[in-house]
Amino acid sequence: MHFEYKKKENCLAYSQIYEYKLTITVREFKTHLNGWTVEENHRYRRPMMTAIKRGVQIKGILDKYVITVSFPEDTYVEEKMFFEAWLKNEEN
């Protein structure tokens, strides 16, 4: 899957949060999350999805093309490399 990413700036020290722009919607992306703990929240005006696995947390609005991914501070480098390799290998 093709994606673009950028580090998301925020006020939390040592945070490792990135935004990934995908070629599919978050709703479609959700179908690729086998083995992840996935929850949908429809209480908001724009329903969203959260997923977590190995300390990596994904959030996104279901009808948008952007996910926010936060990586655990202590294993940030390894988890980010693993996540991006997995993302590149996922079929559309």
pLDDT in tens, 57-77: 999 999 999 999 999 988 889
Q: Is the pLDDT of residue 83 over 60?
A: yes
CA 42 → CA 1, 50, 55, 78, distances in Å?
A: 27, 12, 24, 33
pLDDT of residue 42: 92
pTM to 2 decimals? 0.87
C-alpha span between 28 and 54 (Å, rounded): 22
pLDDT tens for 5-51 read 988 876 555 668 999 999 999 999 999 999 999 999 999 899 999 99
Max Cα-Cα span within the chain: 35
